[in-house]
């Protein structure tokens, strides 16, 4: 039995004046990628310099304007990587690199060595402030913890004084979610004042959910409380850095934006320590799905991530996974099919399709994989595949008949590919040419002959079990005439219940598909037949013969 009594609830704050629940996200935040630092340190096999360069270029291409490139004072590979970026002039003028360092003199000095020649940089200092870490890790009181942050700020300020480029200070009270709010406010304010932040030269105050300790609404309360109580708020860029220990990192980030955050630090696909950082792409796609410009170039999901990080993207990962725009469920397939059809019919500029929050094509995906057929699929899915892949718009009444054929296969082998579905369609309908095989058709117009009650005469050449035969018949149109003739030839009463046709492709060489729903009046059995030809009349006759053979007439 799980010993749940070993754990206690983390405290929530009493904050009835909260306003964030009534707000909406209306614009993208300042994005900061920490893939090259927080993400890289969480990899089993961290990136080498060449891979880091490739990832940096990819992040720039995605549109990140702030990129944390590492902890250069703590690792030679990260120091060398940053030097390469600077010396090879790979940092665009509108991109700021961010470097992390602890509040120690030798580390801060080494950090400034690493950014020499950089026109602008964010120097990110931090120290842990949580009640638990003050007690069990540092054995320090509040004043001593504040002193670490203030002294670190002074050292950065001293180094920045002679630095030729622009330095922006970022301060993080690490483990903010486990820190008493009055103390978090105190230490952040002391750093803010020591740095001398102004509206023109603001400081980044980053409030990390280093460990997710509570529900996202509690994090939002903490952010809003800090946002309201900061002095000289316009001198602060309020940043959040959510982790995902409780699996709610995205929700925490989104609610923190409602609560006043200006900036979000995170990684692509949420790679990071433990259960990971917040997935910035997930948040960006969420904004996109609500008609908000995410300010990131997320039209295409690149394979660079998997190659550099050596971590596969889960097939069910929001937006990015290979299966997230795929429906196996029959009811889902049917709804998607109808939704896509309605969009085309209405020529709507607004995307509204059941089960698909965004158009897959908008992020470089294709429609073809949307519906995939397995034993859970239904008639709508098979019809969707036949239409999308092969252009056959099956009559609604035919959906179940053909889907039953495919379901038997899927129950044996699992997923059925579109090519297998088409192969079965050909075998079950188009190639049904025995025992009755249609060969030739001649149609004569009788409408000018006053003695005839019918307007069409047909001459049909066919084979019956390989024996060539021919008959003539009259009727009201070619289909009626062919049907009447086949009744005479076979001695079986048949009736056409429904008839549909459509073009398979446009152009002078277009083919037509015809569908005949046929009834054997003698035993009550019904089925569909399908015919294809460049001539719609021949296609219809082939469909009748296809249905006759499927009913077993003449065997």
pLDDT digits (tens, 9 = 90+) for 302-325: 667 888 888 898 989 999 888 888
pLDDT digits (tens, 9 = 90+) for 233-257: 999 999 999 999 999 999 999 999 9
Residue 267 makes CB contacts below 8 A (sequence gap 6+) with 33, 34, 35, 38, 39, 276, 277, 278, 279, 280
Q: Which residue has the tokens 């949420």?
A: 270
244 with 270: CB under 8 angstroms? yes
pLDDT category, 40, cuts 50, 70, 90? very high
Q: How many helices (H) and strands (E) does the chain have?
A: 17, 14
pLDDT digits (tens, 9 = 90+) for 188-233: 999 999 999 999 999 999 999 999 999 999 999 999 999 999 999 9
The bridge status of strand 96-102 relative to strand 120-128 is parallel
Q: Which two tokens stand for residue 279?
A: 């997935």
Interval 396-419 mean pLDDT: 91
Q: Which residue has the tokens 């406010």?
A: 185
pLDDT category, 450, cuts 50, 70, 90? low
The pLDDT assigned to 368 comes to 60
Cβ-in-10-Å burial (0-12, 13-18, 19+) of 515 comes to buried
- Let me know the angle formed at the C-alpha of 458 by 453 and 459, rounded to the nearest 5 degrees: 140
Ordered alpha helix ranges (H), 63-141: 76-87, 105-114, 131-133
**Weakest mean pLDDT among 77-91, 348-362, 424-438:** 348-362
């Amino acid at each position: 039995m799980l010993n749940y009594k070993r754990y206690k609830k983390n405290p929530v704050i009493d904050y009835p004046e909260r306003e964030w629940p009534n707000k909406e996200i209306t614009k993208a935040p300042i994005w900061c990628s920490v893939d090259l630092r927080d993400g890289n340190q969480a990899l089993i096999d961290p990136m080498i310099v060449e891979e880091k360069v490739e990832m940096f270029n990819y992040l720039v291409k995605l549109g990140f304007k702030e990129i944390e490139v590492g902890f250069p004072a703590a690792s030679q590979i990260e120091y060398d990587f940053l030097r390469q970026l600077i010396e090879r002039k790979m940092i665009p003028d509108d991109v700021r690199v961010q470097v992390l360092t602890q509040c120690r003199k030798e580390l801060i000095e080494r950090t400034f060595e690493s950014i020499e020649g950089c026109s602008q940089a964010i120097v990110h200092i931090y120290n842990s402030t949580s009640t638990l870490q003050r007690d069990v890790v540092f054995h320090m009181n509040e004043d001593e913890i504040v002193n670490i942050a203030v002294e670190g700020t002074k050292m950065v300020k001293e180094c920045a004084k002679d630095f030729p480029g622009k330095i922006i200070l970022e301060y993080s009270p690490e483990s903010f979610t486990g820190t008493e709010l009055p103390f978090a406010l105190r230490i952040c304010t002391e750093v803010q004042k020591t740095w001398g932040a102004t509206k023109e030269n603001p400081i980044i105050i980053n409030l990390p959910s280093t460990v997710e300790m509570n529900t996202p609404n509690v994090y939002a309360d903490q952010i809003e409380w800090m946002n309201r109580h900061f002095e000289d708020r316009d001198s602060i860029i309020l940043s959040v850095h959510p982790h995902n220990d409780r699996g709610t990192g995205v929700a925490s980030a989104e609610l923190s934006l409602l609560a006043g955050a200006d900036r979000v630090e995170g990684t692509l696909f949420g790679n990071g320590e433990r259960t990971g950082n917040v997935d910035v792409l997930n948040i960006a796609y969420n904004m996109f799905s609500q008609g908000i410009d995410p300010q990131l170039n997320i039209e295409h999901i690149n394979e660079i991530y998997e190659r550099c990080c050596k971590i596969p993207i889960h097939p069910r990962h929001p937006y990015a996974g290979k299966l997230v725009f795929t429906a196996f469920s029959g009811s889902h397939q049917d709804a998607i099919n109808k939704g896509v059809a309605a969009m085309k019919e209405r020529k709507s500029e607004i995307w509204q399709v059941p089960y698909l929050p965004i158009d897959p094509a908008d992020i470089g995906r294709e429609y073809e994989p949307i519906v995939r057929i397995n034993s859970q699929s239904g008639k709508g899915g098979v019809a969707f595949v036949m239409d999308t892949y092969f252009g056959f718009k099956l009559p609604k009444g035919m959906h179940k008949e053909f889907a039953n054929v495919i379901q038997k296969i899927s129950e044996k082998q699992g997923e059925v590919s579109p090519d297998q579905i088409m192969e079965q369609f050909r075998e079950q309908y188009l190639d049904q040419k025995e025992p009755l095989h249609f060969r030739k058709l001649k149609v004569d117009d009788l409408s000018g002959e006053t003695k005839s009650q019918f307007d069409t005469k047909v001459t049909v050449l066919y084979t019956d079990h390989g024996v060539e035969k021919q008959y003539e018949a009259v009727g009201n149109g070619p289909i009626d005439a062919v049907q009447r003739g086949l009744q005479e030839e076979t001695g079986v009463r048949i009736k056409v219940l429904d008839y549909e046709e459509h073009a398979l492709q446009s152009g002078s060489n277009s083919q037509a598909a015809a569908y005949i729903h046929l009834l054997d009046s003698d035993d009550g059995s019904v089925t569909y037949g399908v015919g294809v030809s460049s001539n719609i009349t021949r296609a219809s006759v082939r469909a009748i013969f296809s249905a006759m053979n499927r009913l077993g007439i003449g065997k």
